[in-house]
Structure 1
Amino acid sequence: MPSSLSLQLLRLRRPVVGLFFGLLGLVGLLLYGDYGLPWDEQLDRLNGIISLKYAALKLAPALARREPSFADIPDMRDNQDTDHGVIFQLPLLLLERAVGAEDARQVYLLRHLATFFTFLGGVYCFFRLATHRFRRWLLGLLGAALLVLTPRLFAEAFYNYKDLVFLAFFVTSVYTLLRLLRRPTWRAVLWHAAATGAAIDVRTMGVLLLGLTLGFAGLEMAYRPTLRRRFMNLLPLYLGSTALVVVLGWPYLWENPVGHFLEAFQSFSRYRSDMTVQYWGRQLSVRQLPWHYAPVWLLITTPPVYCLLFGVGTATVLGAAWRRPRAWLRTRSGRQDLLFAAWFFGPLLAVVVLQSVMYDGWRHLYFIYPAFLLLALRGVQVAWRGWRTAGPGGWRQRLGGGLLLLLAVGTAHTAGRMVREHPYQNLYFSGLSGQQAERLFERDYWGLAGRQGLEWILAHDVRPQVRVGTDARTGLVLHNNSLLLPPAARNRLVLTSADQAQYFLTVYRWHPQPYPASYGREVHCIRVEGIKILSVFQRP
């Protein structure tokens, strides 16, 4: 029989969970207008527009040709981003039309809001996933809070259409997978197929879900032989339905599904640009990064207490698997922990071994972070049990209590930094001073600070036309962020070359060194925790 405390907690679940996610939604509504426009946002939208034109020509050609902007939209054969699916971009375009967003500022702010609420949906699925694993809704809610209180991911949840949306879709797919493994029905298969197909249509890396599904369905058949026939009947339905969702949601695949998908999948091993990144104080080619690039970026941008609990949780899982592997796999919790370990370590090891092209930190691997947190929650569970069940004053109780205290202090400190650094939570570094981070690693690689730089210039220079320039390679920073200015301010801005400009603006990407005096007098800068991320120079 459940205790009275358990019953009281159960009654509190709905209002507490509703309040938590309601407050998160309110935070999104209050903050979505504060962030700048990153490098790829215009290109992502254009990719969706091209795909929408292509789909319209296939489904309703006469109606498509009556669209006023039809002739200005490139054809699919001229699209440089066919290797990116558009299952998220297409609904955003329809949303723009539905709400009547026409000016660029309205369009991109709307997209930021929609992106955040997509992330919020992923956080809710993560809450359900963690609750499903640990059978404690409070632990699930703690996991959701840790996901939100990860500074870089919180900031990027407003504007990173690729990696954060993929994270949300991937965690949703793993949740539908757990439901399928627990109770294999045709409804569960169709839900999981829809989630898997949508994830693949955001990033082709979503094919990992196929391997996880088949592999762990095989484990269920091995340890639950009574369900073997049912799984064997349902898996072909899963594969076929997933393929159908992938093709339907990605117009580029319609004419040649297999060939075009393989072409898109292989494109990630043949990255088009030989871009450089700042890593450990050196400018390195993205094609020649050391094996430790992704693990180091993960560690230096994740709150330290999360990493500590991840280590405790991973050691606990490894210990249980080592001592009695067969008995461990016979338990549902053991197989789920193995799934989370495969979700986290599999892609990370693949990137290290295959020396995959990466850039902008570890953002291409953000989708493994929920698995990282699930293993960290395993560490929280161990600490809680040690604190509650060990003898008074014993080392287990002291260790468990110490870990829980560190968790409370660490999350409070992280939340405080997120408030203090707003809207530049994407500049969060753990364990590094501002000077170290500025010297060793990339800063604002999204170029978001350009927005506040332009706003400062226009607020302090009253001339009707103001000429602003930047480095030749970072011109998009000015163009993109100018789109978020009100129309009147945007009309005053003249974007020009550095030698013709009255103001020179830099975000220090590809030029981490200080600028010489010939660039003029520095009249404005932005620092985040001691890291200089933007300078405005008044030209001589």
Structure 2
Amino acid sequence: MSHFRWYGTMLYAGQVLSTYTPTPLPWHYALTWASITTPVLYLVGLAIAFGLLVRQLIRRGGRLYKGEDEWQDLLFWGLGAGPFLAIIALHAVVYNGWRQLYFAYPPLLLLALQGLLAAWHWQPWNAVRAWWQPAVAFTVTISLVSVASKIAQLHPLENLYFNTLAGAHPELRYEYDYWGLGSRQGLQWIVRHDTRSTIRVSTNMYATCFFAYNLLPPAERKRLLLSRQPNKLTDYSLQSFYAESRGHTEVGTLVYSLRVEEEQRRVLDIYRLRQPIVLTPAN
């Protein structure tokens, strides 16, 4: 991946980064993305597991592991953390989040589970020992319910999940719907609110919008004509919200905005470029 080139722009920490220049991405790009899109409970478990690793390293005078079980943990650390270290060391090109590293997620989850189990079996001082395990169980339950609730709210756009570390309105600082998965809901809104037999729609994400178009029923597809750029015959402009759309000039009238969660995070906007013409029969 260090020799792979991808050219485009990305929104990261409120700044638009361009891979058209030789300047490498910040070394913490992938780490930050993993941290703000992974449930906080998993991050806590992973931090505990890493703390146990450091403690073992200090107590054993630099010797990492002994025994087959501990060598298995070393394998998981290599599979989970190794790709991130390689990205940093080789200045490899990653883009639109950390999706090129999703294969590292399972071993990291196993390590996080190890950390949570260590927290469960920890024997604190007598004053808190009686309620320690119930407190851990309560925390885990609340976290699981919270994540499940947020995923349910986002459906069918679960890919837009961010944890609390991302802060309010992460769509203003990070790549959001870069897959354009909200396009289907946008097209559905258009065909349900415009009764004309032919509707011309332009979009800033043509490829993903075309895939969404093919998921519609045949009768609805027949009414839609998609294009990459608006022209004088275009009826609607569908604008997905991601880095390259930040400079979009809002033309026409905003008629629909797809937003998610309690914060009303912006996913896409639909602008009407031409007012529908209603023909009245002659007397």
| TM-score interval, smaller chain | 0.7 to 0.9
Return the match for 2:211 from 459, 480, 495.
480
For residue 515 of structure 1, report the CA deviation from its aligned partner. 5.0
- In the aligned structure 2, how far is the partner of 1:401 from the partner of 1:379? 17
Return the match for 2:226 from 476, 495, 517.
495
- In the aligned structure 1, how far is the partner of 2:97 from the partner of 2:161? 12
Native 8 Å contact 2:160 2:176 kept in 1: yes
Return the match for 1:278 from 4, 7, 11.
11
CA deviations over 1:43-80 (Å, ceiling 9, x no partner)? xxxxxxxxxxxxxxxxxxxxxxxxxxxxxxxxxxxxxx
Letter in 2 for 1:535: D
Partner of 2:279: none
Partner of 2:271: 537
My pick for the range that moved more, 530-539 or 321-330, is: 321-330
- In the aligned structure 2, how far is the partner of 1:273 from the partner of 1:326? 40
Return the match for 2:42 from 302, 306, 320.
306
SS at match of 1:380: helix
Q: Sort the Cα spacing of 1:498 and 1:327 in 2 relative to 1 into closer, same or farther, 3 A.
A: closer
- In the aligned structure 1, how far is the partner of 2:58 from the partner of 2:224? 64
Native 8 Å contact 1:382 1:400 kept in 2: no
Higher helix share: 1
Q: How many residues get paired?
A: 266
Return the match for 2:26 from 290, 297, 301.
290
Native 8 Å contact 1:521 1:537 kept in 2: yes
Unaligned runs of 5+ in 2: 275-283
Partner of 1:57: none
Return the match for 2:252 from 520, 525, 532.
520
CA deviations over 1:346-370 (Å, ceiling 9, x no partner)? 1111101111000110011111111
- In the aligned structure 1, how far is the partner of 2:189 from the partner of 2:14? 30
Partner of 2:141: 408
For residue 513 of structure 1, report the CA deviation from its aligned partner. 3.3
Matched, 1:269 2:5: no
- In the aligned structure 1, how far is the partner of 2:252 from the partner of 2:208? 20
SS at match of 1:405: helix
Matched, 1:470 2:203: yes
Partner of 2:278: none
Matched, 1:353 2:86: no
For residue 537 of structure 1, report the CA deviation from its aligned partner. 0.6
CA deviations over 1:459-514 (Å, ceiling 9, x no partner)? 1111111100023xx22132221111112211111113312310000102344437
Q: Sort the Cα spacing of 1:532 and 1:292 in 2 relative to 1 into closer, same or farther, 3 A.
A: same
- In the aligned structure 2, how far is the partner of 1:328 from the partner of 1:357? 31
Native 8 Å contact 1:525 1:532 kept in 2: yes
For residue 444 of structure 1, report the CA deviation from its aligned partner. 0.3
- In the aligned structure 1, how far is the partner of 2:50 from the partner of 2:249? 49
- In the aligned structure 2, how far is the partner of 1:401 from the partner of 1:390? 13
SS at match of 1:522: strand
Letter in 1 for 2:51: A
- In the aligned structure 2, how far is the partner of 1:331 from the partner of 1:521? 67
Partner of 2:238: 505
Q: Which has the higher contact order (CA 8 A, sep 6+)?
A: 2
- In the aligned structure 1, how far is the partner of 2:248 from the partner of 2:73? 51
Letter in 1 for 2:81: F
- In the aligned structure 1, how far is the partner of 2:247 from the partner of 2:92? 32
SS at match of 1:350: helix
Query: What is the 5 A alignment of 1:112-261?
Result: none
- In the aligned structure 2, how far is the partner of 1:376 from the partner of 1:272? 33
For residue 447 of structure 1, report the CA deviation from its aligned partner. 0.7
CA deviations over 1:439-470 (Å, ceiling 9, x no partner)? 21011011110111111101111111110002
Partner of 1:217: none
Native 8 Å contact 1:467 1:495 kept in 2: yes
CA deviations over 1:365-387 (Å, ceiling 9, x no partner)? 1111112111111111112212x
Return the match for 1:376 from 76, 89, 112.
112
- In the aligned structure 2, how far is the partner of 1:331 from the partner of 1:385? 21
- In the aligned structure 1, how far is the partner of 2:133 from the partner of 2:17? 42
Aligned Cα root-mean-square deviation (Å): 2.2
Partner of 1:449: 182
Native 8 Å contact 1:383 1:401 kept in 2: no
SS at match of 2:222: helix
For residue 296 of structure 1, report the CA deviation from its aligned partner. 0.3
Determine what percentage of the aligned residue pairs are the same residue. Answer: 35
